[in-house]
Structure 1
């Protein structure tokens, strides 16, 4: 462009688009006739409207519908925050004719579950401690790892502190726990290598007959087996032998063989897992950096029904349920 100007003394510029008059908005033909209103061209559909019910009964119905929907579906609709929180203390006083405190019925209702729902929970909590649902669904339940401690609690034990300890253990961690979590997959892989048995992940087991109990084995064996792994921190560098049994106090020598002590909390844990999951046997696996111990423990129905369920039911009704009621609902 500059060279052309220097040579001819003139600039040759094409007509720009803005120099042309716009014509796209001009009608193609002139409309002749009367002007029509938009509502006449597109009439709204005929709708029969009922007068708004502003009575107190209707408002209570709307409130109840929304709150019950949120409670039963766990959905958090914004409209629920329009209404104030319920006065649970007053509600409990209004229901003083009940056999149990009103809030304890709430605990029972929140734990109640069908077997189909229990199966869904088991399938949705395969990641165990890494799964948010796993933490939520076991929060108010007595889990198998505490069965032995609860059953053996005597009248001299501070039950209030025991309940606090069970609840606090949901988020408790220590070097031993961290060591167990880190090497549990290694132990299961070693178990598969030694036995040739495939172990699959499993989630939280809940039985609809005793919905206040829960169990999370480390793995399951299809169709009727479980795997429970222990990676003791103190004995992590040792061989598992009679000579080193002091490092493994949960083991005993019987007929010159090592086995899990039948009065140890681990045995209560395994029998509880088998009873709640309706399985027939469990491989008890102890893993160290230098050794692997295996014991196949079969389900003892008599032990489960007579030594585990009755004291746990008593603890739940007399201590755990009132504790949850006072802590969360009052």
Structure 2
């Protein structure tokens, strides 16, 4: 190689060095030595790292059928928890967290906007394959093809691919894939197949009348016209002496109108000329009552009969995936907040506490995500160790204290509940009382739950409201599991916990909810 470089001109040597990113100064012999050194050391660069292409997942080409209601029986159970887990963690060996939850929110918007144009299904012995078209969010004429693979036995999402830039497979997590997963979840659970129908799939509608306005009547000058009206167009034709009435005469006309409507149950347009009063203002007109009207409405809204309580529990067993679960919890104090109320001091801002109960913010943190992800695993290990079967449950509502509610993590037989805790700080250590597990204490050589911790108030409240006598308290980490049997403490509940909750409800929470009406 040295003889080769000796035959080169100085200009050619400098060009070669420049291409390799080396200095080009010096005499010819220096240039040759520099090139020889670069040849020996491979241009002083390490071998390039060749990134392999993603695993080529098998996608069937034939055998697809349009997804129809009768396919619901052959679809596995796919839950929102499984979808969230798929979008939360990249399905790779490093288990790197992607927290791609915004795609799920945008996918809901696509689903509600009927942007899934087509969906077909194929299956083999172990997998369910879905293929179809999803429209772009911002462009009407742009759409993307998607492919999805689901485990036929468990319903776990396995693979996904979309033609959009964010959905490259084999584990794409774009909003278009999210919309399809959410559609499948709704289809399996409720039978709702939210695929946009073609124009020939719907009945002709040219003879259907336009939607009739069904709001309350408006005065002509309050109608939101598109054209701007001048004062001349809305000129009042009445004479001046008829346009101005005394306040007493106006009140007389208003009272006559109200009395006539209330006695005859007749609705006349004249009553809409007077703006309606707010509920808060109306409640001040009846200050002679034992409690404000708004608070009476709150009590009436939360009141339940024994049959109503059973129906609520049965209809909310999907918990966070059930709209009814959120609706029934809204005006009630749930067991997870019992500890905050019982431990409340005079320095606590009660209005902020009531706001956090009535309008809880959606907070996504690593401890919360960790608890959601591993709760099912903890219950599975509990079933393996104890040979008990844990059943799902919904929101329990107390008949005697209807403003209280509780949702245990599960039920065991007819007299026990299950409550699971997966502490994020102690996920990699053995379970023992200390900094990682501040809710545990060692007593008489045995580990138990601190009676002063808010978890104790939560569990005692759950036992009282559900009418059960025993709680299996499960603490789960990656390397250990602890199962404690906690019995119902009737004396503590009746003489301490419930009176404090009732006082808080009547003195703080009920007035706050009433002020939001």
Range of TM-score over shorter length: 0.7 to 0.9
Aligned twin of 1:228: 419
Q: Aligned partners of 2:263 and 2:331: how far apart in 1? A: 36
* 1:150-161 pair list within 5 angstroms: 150-161=341-352
Aligned twin of 2:282: 91
Aligned twin of 1:316: 505
Q: CA deviation at 1:163?
A: 1.3
Aligned twin of 1:172: 363
Report the CA distance shift for 1:61/1:109 in structure 2 as closer, same or farther (over 3 A).
Answer: farther
Q: Aligned match of 2:476 in 287, 296, 299?
A: 287
Aligned twin of 1:275: 464
Q: CA deviation at 1:241?
A: 2.8
The Cα RMSD (Å) is 2.1
Q: Is the 1:259–1:295 Cα contact (8 Å) retained in structure 2?
A: yes
Q: Aligned match of 2:380 in 165, 179, 189?
A: 189
Q: CA deviation at 1:296?
A: 0.5
Aligned twin of 1:140: 331
Aligned twin of 2:398: 207
Q: CA deviation at 1:282?
A: 0.4
Q: CA deviation at 1:214?
A: 0.5
Q: Aligned partners of 2:267 and 2:479: how far apart in 1? A: 66
Report the CA distance shift for 1:323/1:56 in structure 2 as closer, same or farther (over 3 A).
Answer: closer
Q: Aligned match of 1:260 in 443, 446, 449?
A: 449
Aligned twin of 1:107: 298
The number of aligned residues is: 254
Q: CA deviation at 1:157?
A: 1.0
Report the CA distance shift for 1:300/1:170 in structure 2 as closer, same or farther (over 3 A).
Answer: farther
Q: CA deviation at 1:172?
A: 3.1
Q: Aligned partners of 1:57 and 1:225: how far apart in 2? A: 54
Q: Aligned partners of 1:263 and 1:61: how far apart in 2? A: 61
Q: Is the 1:280–1:298 Cα contact (8 Å) retained in structure 2?
A: yes
Q: Aligned partners of 2:355 and 2:410: how far apart in 1? A: 28
Q: CA deviation at 1:60?
A: 3.3
Q: Aligned match of 1:60 in 265, 269, 276?
A: 265
Q: Aligned partners of 1:183 and 1:59: how far apart in 2? A: 63
Please give the secondary structure, in 1, of the residue aligned with 2:402. strand
Aligned twin of 1:43: none
Q: Is the 1:135–1:170 Cα contact (8 Å) retained in structure 2?
A: no
Instruction: After superposition, give the CA deviation of every residue in 1:243-295 in whole Å (9 maximum; x if it has no partner).
Output: xx320000001112211101110011000000001001000000111110010
TM-score by length of 2: 0.47
Alignment of 1:251 onto 2:433: no
Q: Aligned partners of 2:277 and 2:367: how far apart in 1? A: 43
Can you give the 5+ residue segments of structure 1 that lack an aligned partner in the other structure? 1-54, 64-82
Q: Aligned match of 2:430 in 215, 233, 239?
A: 239
Q: Is the 1:225–1:279 Cα contact (8 Å) retained in structure 2?
A: yes
Q: Is the 2:417–2:470 Cα contact (8 Å) retained in structure 1?
A: yes
Report the CA distance shift for 1:59/1:235 in structure 2 as closer, same or farther (over 3 A).
Answer: farther
Q: Aligned partners of 2:477 and 2:282: how far apart in 1? A: 55
Q: Is the 1:225–1:281 Cα contact (8 Å) retained in structure 2?
A: yes
Q: Aligned partners of 1:288 and 1:228: how far apart in 2? A: 15
TM-score by length of 1: 0.73
Can you give the 5+ residue segments of structure 2 that lack an aligned partner in the other structure? 1-259, 269-273
Please give the secondary structure, in 2, of the residue aligned with 1:285. strand
Tell me which of the two structures has the higher relative contact order, counting C-alpha pairs closer than 8 angstroms and 6 or more residues apart: 1
- More helix by percentage: 1
Report the CA distance shift for 1:85/1:192 in structure 2 as closer, same or farther (over 3 A).
Answer: farther
Report the CA distance shift for 1:258/1:84 in structure 2 as closer, same or farther (over 3 A).
Answer: farther
Q: CA deviation at 1:84?
A: 8.0
